[in-house]
Amino acid sequence: MIVFHKIVELQNALFADRKAGKTVGLVPTMGALHEGHASLVKKSVEDNDITVVSVFVNPTQFNDPKDLKSYPRTVEDDCKLLEKVHADYVFVPSVEEMYPVPDTRHFEYPPVSTVMEGAHRPGHFNGVCQVVSRLFYIVNPDRAYFGEKDWQQIAVIKAMVKALSLKVNIVECPIVRDADGLARSSRNALLSKDERAIAPVIFKALSEGVEYSANHSVKETHDFVVGAINAVDGLDVEYFEIVDGDTLLPVNEWSDSDYVVGCITVYCGSRPVRLIDHIKFKEPKL
């Protein structure tokens, strides 16, 4: 495994790989890696000759300076994990390397980029598109791997790929959960012991919400899930939206769509730590 800090050095290595006819997979990350990230890397290693993993905490996607400052950074441990799962190249650039000049590009793909996270974190998806498009231009991967935990982000990235006519296949990988149901996330490292103990209530409420939905309306199901989570001291729902899985627009009746997803963001603890998750209420029949 080789660690690169400079774009030109990574591109020189990839040029030789391309010349040898090798395929390239990219796993973009912000570090603080866990088993969810490891599953993406393993999938890329399985699918491609060369796997590149980027480790970069991207400042342009944070609308809260405190959130950027507190985001966990564990590059040394990240590299140990990546070596175990057989990544070939790790790209760890500085902010100056990624953004030698301010990135003034503006990305907007309504409605997928403007609802939910887009509404609650202004500028977030613009920053995501800035860094991901930059990584795509640097690496020029055949495939790029993203976890379904960041479900709305995948929809935005797919819209960007289409708009920019990029020749990269976006590969969606299943959420990796702990035994108690909590979705693996880099932010979990910020949870105290007590906060970690209550965080699984989020997925428990979502799962019970799917069962509840069989005999209740969309609104009743929404209120049931929000009520179950907010009833726990230390948990506070920022939003829970039940939406069409393609457009990400809200549904009013279960019959409105064949593909219905519940997307949630919850603040956990006094700091607080922002946790996201989702669950599928209805999926299209194959």
192 is in an annotated binding site: no
148 is in an annotated binding site: yes
30 is in an annotated binding site: yes
Which residues pair with residue 265 across a beta bridge? 239, 276
Q: Are 232 and 198 in contact (CB under 8 A)?
A: yes
Residues in the chain: 286
34 is in an annotated binding site: yes
31 is in an annotated binding site: yes
253 is in an annotated binding site: no
| Residue 92 tokens, joined | 């760890």
38 is in an annotated binding site: no
Candidates 37, 124, 222, 278; catalytic one? 37
271 is in an annotated binding site: no
Tell me if residue 37 is catalytic: yes
Q: For residues 244 and 249, give the distance between their C-alpha atoms in angstroms, rounded to a whole number.
A: 6
147 is in an annotated binding site: yes
133 is in an annotated binding site: no
205 is in an annotated binding site: no
96 is in an annotated binding site: no
32 is in an annotated binding site: yes
18 is in an annotated binding site: no
Residue 271's nearest CA partner among 70, 133, 85, 61 is 70
Known binding positions: 30-37, 61, 147-150, 153, 176, 184-187
Annotated binding site for ATP: 30-37, 147-150, 176, 184-187
Annotated binding site for beta-alanine, which residues? Answer: 61
Residues catalogued as catalytic: 37
Binding-site residues from annotation for (R)-pantoate: 61, 153
